Amino acid sequence: MNIAYLNGQYLPIEQAKISPLDRGFLFGDGVYEVVPSYEGKLVGFLPHLQRMNEGLEAIGISTGWSENQWLDLCLKLIQQNGAGNLGIYLQISRGAYESRAHRFPDKVNPTIFAFCFEIPPAPVADKSHAKTYTVSTARDIRWDRRDIKSTSLLGNVLHYQQGVEQGNQETLLYNEHNELTEASSCNAFIVKNGTVITPPLDHQKLPGITRQILIDILRNDGNIVVEERAVTMNEVAEADEVWITSSSREIAPVIAIDSVPVGDGQIGDVWLAAQTLFSANRFNY
Ligand code: PDD
C-alpha cells in the first residue's frame, strides 16, 4: 500500500483528493522536491529543504512549517511505506481558492502533499553494473526562472519526451549562445583531460542537490579538479566523458549524444573515481 500525506492526514494515495480549483492544478502554481532515501536513510535532507524553502520564498508561499516538521513527515512516510529505496516527493501549491484568478488570493491555505515512490538501489561504483545513458539535444525552451523547482514542468516534459521519441533517456539543453544549461530532469557535467566541468548556477538551471554534493565531495577529496564555468556545445561534443546527475540517478554516465559516441563510447575512469567517492560519502549530507 502507498501511504501519502495530504494537508494533515496520512492516507492511502488513492484516497488523497484535492480540489480541481487547486492552483497547483490550474496554474502549476507551486514547488516540489524529491529527496532520495536508501534503506531508511535520507540523502541531502537539509540542502533539499533549503532549496524548497528558497523556492517557496521566491514565489511568496508560506507554510509556517519548521525543519523538524518536514523531517518528521519524511520519516513517517518512510516508516509507513517500508524502508526500501524511496524517492520522497514533497509538493506545496498555493492552495485551492473559490475561483480561477491569476492574482494571489488574499486568504488561501497552501496544499501540502507528499508521497513515496520506489527508486533503484543506490548506484554502485562499478563500470560493469552502471546504467548508461544516451541523450538527445535541444535548444532550451523553458522559462527564465529554472532555478525554482516549480511544478510547472511542461517545458521539461516536452524536452524529456523528445529524447524518448528519439530512443534516448534524456535531452541535453543549450541556451541561445549554444552553452549547455542542464538536461530536462538532471544537471550536466563534462570531463576533459581529467578536469570535471559543469555550468555555473544561474536562473537557467536548477541548483541540483546531487550537483552540489558531488562538487563538495570532489573538492574535499582534492584529487580531481572541478570547474564551474560556461560549457559550449563544441566542448560537449569533444568531451572525454559526459555525466548527468540527479537525486535518483546520482552520477549517470552518458555514452552517446545524438547517436554519436562520447569519447570512446565507454564509461570513463573519472566517472568511476567520482561515483566511488559519492558512494562513500552520500550519507554524510
Ligand atoms: N529532477 N535539473 C532539473 C531540471 C531537475 O528536474 C532535476 C531533478 C535536477 C537534479 O536535481 P537534484 O540533484 O536535486 O535531484 C536538475 C527530479 C529528480 C525530478 O523532477 O523528478
Record the cell numbers describing residue 160, joined without a space: 524529456
pLDDT at 27: 98
Beta bridge partners of 244: 188, 252
pLDDT tens digits, 151-203: 999 999 999 999 999 999 999 999 999 999 999 999 999 999 999 999 999 99
Residue 282 DSSP symbol: G
Question: Per-residue confidence at 127, pLDDT binned at 50, 70, 90?
Answer: very high
Q: What is the dihedral of CA 99, 103, 107, 110, to 10 degrees?
A: 90
**Protein residue with its CA nearest to atom 5 in ligand 1:** 185
Q: Kindly tell me the burial class for residue 31, based on how many C-beta atoms sit within 10 Å of its own C-beta (0-12, 13-18, 19 or more).
A: buried
For residues 79-100, average pLDDT: 96
Among residues 272, 145, 283, 285, which one has the least CA distance to residue 203? Answer: 145
Distances (CA, A) of 37 to 41, 78, 250: 5, 8, 12
Computed over every residue of the chain, the mean pLDDT equals: 97
Distances (CA, A) of 91 to 103, 183, 244, 263: 20, 21, 24, 39
Ligand 1 binding pocket includes 156 (Cβ within 6 Å)? yes
Using CA atoms, how far apart are residues 67 and 85, in angstroms rounded to an integer?
22
pLDDT tens digits, 32-82: 999 999 999 999 999 999 999 999 999 999 999 999 999 999 999 999 998
Q: Is residue 112 pLDDT above 80, yes or no?
A: yes
- Prediction pTM value: 0.97
CB 95 within 8 A of CB 111: yes
**Protein residue with its CA nearest to atom 17 in ligand 1:** 185
Ligand 1 binding pocket includes 188 (Cβ within 6 Å)? no
Q: Is residue 251 pLDDT above 80, yes or no?
A: yes
Residue 105 DSSP symbol: P
Using CA atoms, how far apart are residues 169 and 254, in angstroms rounded to an integer?
10
CB 231 within 8 A of CB 175: no
- DSSP letters of 193-257? TTEEEEPPPSTTS---HHHHHHHHHHHHH-SS-EEES--BHHHHHT-SEEEEEETTTEEEEEEEE
pLDDT at 1: 64
DSSP reduced 3-state for 277: helix
Ligand 1 binding pocket includes 187 (Cβ within 6 Å)? yes
Question: Per-residue confidence at 108, pLDDT binned at 50, 70, 90?
Answer: very high
**Protein residue with its CA nearest to atom 6 in ligand 1:** 185
For residues 227-252, average pLDDT: 98
From ligand 1's centre to the CA of 247, what distance in Å?
7
From ligand 1's centre to the CA of 208, what distance in Å?
6
Distances (CA, A) of 176 to 17, 125, 235, 258: 41, 35, 16, 19
Ligand 1 atom, smallest distance to 211 CA? 13
pLDDT tens digits, 137-153: 999 999 999 999 999 99
Q: Is residue 111 pLDDT above 70, yes or no?
A: yes
Residues in CB range of 136: below 8 A, 6 or more apart: 162, 163, 166, 168, 170, 171, 172, 257, 258
pLDDT at 122: 92
Ligand 1 binding pocket includes 246 (Cβ within 6 Å)? yes
Record the cell numbers describing residue 71, joined without a space: 523531517
pLDDT at 83: 84
Cα distance between the two ends of the chain: 29
pLDDT tens digits, 7-18: 999 999 999 999
Ligand 1 binding pocket includes 210 (Cβ within 6 Å)? yes
Rounded to 5 degrees, what angle do the CA atoms 169, 285, 113 make? 65
Residue type, 251: I
Q: Kindly tell me the burial class for residue 272, based on how many C-beta atoms sit within 10 Å of its own C-beta (0-12, 13-18, 19 or more).
A: middle
**Protein residue with its CA nearest to atom 20 in ligand 1:** 185
pLDDT at 105: 96
